[in-house]
Amino acid sequence: MNGNFARLVESGITDCGSCPIQRRAVCAYCQSAELLLLEQMKSYKTYRAGEVITWAGDDQLYVATVVTGVASLSQTLEDGRRQMVGLLLPSDFVGRPGRETALFDVEAATEVVLCRFERKPFEKLLAEVPRLGERMLEMALDELDAAREWMLLLGRKTAREKIASLLSILASRESILLEQAPSDGVSFDLRLTREAMADYLGLTLETVSRQINALKRDGVIELTGKRHVKVADFARLLSETGDDSDGGMVI
């Protein structure tokens, strides 16, 4: 992911001023004196891809911010059915102040670096530093909106629409990174296995495989290998999502 910062962490240079995501994280509104308080509390920890960061039900000793990498938030039913309920990207917050035990499984999808705070002291700081609480509220409300958009996909979309939605989100995000408007020919790496996509979309991996190949057969996308997607017809892909043309997805 962001190898530069990972190296900085390893080398011990961990000053908030050089943090790549400070301006978007929970500490975004903090002033230097407040940052200093956080700086004294924080510790970095790195997780390997696939490693479990927390199990649902575990004591929640830490809360944290994702510095680099991608983590997933998921739940399972008694019989093992799994549903991913959130993707945590750099600057996203992990854990819930005020709760003793974790509600969801958190896993590192890629290598992940967390900036961790012990929960109790963090809660104390939250009560004392209004700017921290303000940003926390803002982030919680944004995540709530995103979760609600996803509920529409899970509850009402067909398998083909779900796949088209996921691909169009990934394509849009790729375009944004390249600072272009999304258009035909955008291509990106699918960093998720078919199974992870299935868990995210509320499908089985077989259905994911079939629908991706159906979109390929229909000329909406092109595949190179299993994991590299090129969007042949972006407008067509969007129309396949079933979304209202206005309104638009939250990413």
Binding site for DNA (CB under 7 A): 50, 158-160, 193-195, 202-210, 212-213, 223, 226-227
Q: Which of 7, 23, 148, 191 binds its own copies (CB under 8 A)?
A: 148
Q: Does 144 bind its own copies (CB under 8 A)?
A: yes
CB of 210 to DNA, least distance (A): 5
Nearer to its own copies, 148 or 191 (CB): 148
Q: Among 83-91, 113-121, 174-182, 209-217, which window interacts with its own copies (CB under 8 A)?
A: 83-91
CB 116 within 8 A of CB 64: yes
Sign of the torsion angle spanned by Cα atoms 151, 152, 158, 160: negative
Question: Given candidates 81, 120, 191, 226, which one binds its own copies under the rule CB under 8 A?
Answer: 81
- Binding partner of residue 76 among its own copies, DNA, none, CB cut-off 5 to 8 Å per kind: its own copies
Binding residue for its own copies, selected from 36, 49, 52, 137, defined by CB under 8 A: 137
Check binding of 140 to its own copies (CB under 8 A).
Answer: yes
- Token pair, residue 107, equals 């896993």
Residue 34 or 222: the one with the smaller Cβ distance to its own copies is 34
Q: Which does 26 bind (CB under 5 to 8 A by kind): DNA, its own copies, none?
A: none
For residue 170, give every residue at least 6 positions away whose Cβ sits within 8 Å of its Cβ, in sequence order, or none: 188, 190, 229
**Residue 15 engages its own copies in binding (rule: CB under 8 A):** no
